[in-house]
Structure 1
């Protein structure tokens, strides 16, 4: 029987003893975790509160006052879109399309408005006037559309309703004016107006209210060419854009 060298036993190293937790350190760690969670929760709550405040609907009077600054805070393509869709806006419900061909720099009221308008706006005041000119798809007509911004309250603006006469054009002389319209908006201290003309430069008699030129029994070159519809259609679409911008946002649905 053969002999063998006896194997040496391998002793396992003893496991290090777990460090003793000091009560003070345990409490400090717990406190830091609690404070961290509280800070994160406060930040999340603050973010939610800020979001809700930013999207909270304005009161009607506050939204009305804020709308007075739309002339400087809104891109020109929003106030005067490059193309206006006049679906159903022509005589007999015919479709129309108007393309913007000129935008005037925002102007002082004394430079952009006729003296008659300036006199009527004395009480309401006048901050700025914006104007653009459109042409129809056949390029046979021109329509100037304008916005008169004021610092007035709703009561002062109401005093203007029905008192404004034919506005001045932009890009054509006053003796070329055919039909016109002017509206005092209920949502904003703004007057939106439009006045149409033939593009060929022909002189006309005194401009007529667009509603009169749009009547079925209306006669004359402006009525036959649909220039009442042109002025009314362009004004209505620009007016809708201003009213949508001025209206308070709808409240968010409850979650």
Structure 2
């Protein structure tokens, strides 16, 4: 074989491939390539791949939609059950039914406790109040006037005020009456406690001294104008519901207690009349109301 001279001046074999015909990886051009040749993707292949991707996405969307619909259905069902149970419970609670003994008692207590506010002043202190006079004859005391509502401590003597205030007295209502003969003046005071339990506790601490109690209320220009603390002959009280009803009485002519012999204070008709008027007003305030048989009236 003849040797050819290369461009560099060195001889080379005749069959040696030139640099321009060598494989880029250094493999001679005459040998087969070890790298697998991938066929070029045509338009049909690309369309099939795209279709498969869209189908997979669609199947994922269907699965998620089913999960969402299922979850939403569960929420709707649970909500419906809750609403149904609530409706049944509300109906059972609000439907008319007979009152229990405890509910009847609470109804009466609440009704009595709010009378001092619910009733007009003329309802608490009627214009005329019955009482028993001599020989137990029925007579009527007539109202002279109603005093403005005042604090408990300002409507009674100091020793009584401390007891009332310590037990949560709310207010004091007072009115003045005269007997049927216009000989006696009677002031009635209603101390309003927060509840019956407080009233009971307060009355257990009240003094039995008949010289202290509610302060008289005089109305100028009337037969009661000379009735003051010194003119009180006796005082007393009676409990009724959440109320303590005080009463005090004196002579319309202004005589003081010091001017009256003790036997007259104890045995005259003055005090029975005053006590009877106070008891009547206490009875009005604490008279048990008629309780409806059912929670919504008279029909269960």
- Give secondary structure in 2 for the equivalent of 1:219: helix
User: d(CA) in 2 for partners of 1:183 and 1:205?
Assistant: 25
1:100 paired residue number = 143
2:230 paired residue number = 175
> Is the contact made by 1:175 and 1:206 (CA closer than 8 Å) also made in structure 2?
no
Which of the numbers 108, 130, 133 marks the counterpart of 1:90?
133
User: Which residues in structure 2 correspond to 1:227-242 (within 5 Å)?
Assistant: 227-242=270-285
Superposition deviation, residue 116 in structure 1:
1.0
Superposition deviation, residue 204 in structure 1:
1.0
Superposition deviation, residue 232 in structure 1:
0.9
User: d(CA) in 2 for partners of 1:124 and 1:82?
Assistant: 31
> Is the contact made by 2:167 and 2:193 (CA closer than 8 Å) also made in structure 1?
yes
For residues 67-89 of structure 1, the C-alpha deviation after alignment (integer angstroms, 9 at most, x for no partner) is: 33322211122111101122xx1
- Give secondary structure in 1 for the equivalent of 2:165: coil
- Give secondary structure in 2 for the equivalent of 1:242: helix
User: d(CA) in 2 for partners of 1:162 and 1:196?
Assistant: 23
User: d(CA) in 2 for partners of 1:61 and 1:239?
Assistant: 20
Which of the numbers 189, 201, 208 marks the counterpart of 1:159?
201
User: d(CA) in 1 for partners of 2:217 and 2:135?
Assistant: 28
2:172 paired residue number = 129
Normalising by structure 1, report the TM-score: 0.64
Pick 1 or 2: higher relative contact order, CA cutoff 8 A, min separation 6.
1
User: d(CA) in 2 for partners of 1:174 and 1:123?
Assistant: 24
> Is the contact made by 1:181 and 1:231 (CA closer than 8 Å) also made in structure 2?
no
User: d(CA) in 2 for partners of 1:205 and 1:51?
Assistant: 63
> Can you give the 5+ residue segments of structure 1 that lack an aligned partner in the other structure?
1-45, 208-217
Normalising by structure 2, report the TM-score: 0.55
Superposition deviation, residue 94 in structure 1:
2.4
Which of the numbers 43, 62, 68 marks the counterpart of 2:113?
68
For residues 81-123 of structure 1, the C-alpha deviation after alignment (integer angstroms, 9 at most, x for no partner) is: 101122xx12331222100011001111132122111111233
User: d(CA) in 1 for partners of 2:201 and 2:234?
Assistant: 23
- Give secondary structure in 2 for the equivalent of 1:85: strand
Which of the numbers 115, 125, 133 marks the counterpart of 2:158?
115
User: d(CA) in 2 for partners of 1:50 and 1:175?
Assistant: 60
The structure in which a higher percent of residues are helix is 2
- Give secondary structure in 1 for the equivalent of 2:109: helix
Aligned pair 1:193/2:234, yes or no?
A: no
- Give secondary structure in 1 for the equivalent of 2:216: coil
Give the length in aligned residue pairs.
190
For residues 121-168 of structure 1, the C-alpha deviation after alignment (integer angstroms, 9 at most, x for no partner) is: 2332111111110001211110001110011442x3222335434312
- Give secondary structure in 1 for the equivalent of 2:117: helix
User: d(CA) in 2 for partners of 1:65 and 1:189?
Assistant: 10
User: d(CA) in 2 for partners of 1:52 and 1:194?
Assistant: 43
User: d(CA) in 1 for partners of 2:190 and 2:161?
Assistant: 14
> Is the contact made by 1:180 and 1:194 (CA closer than 8 Å) also made in structure 2?
yes
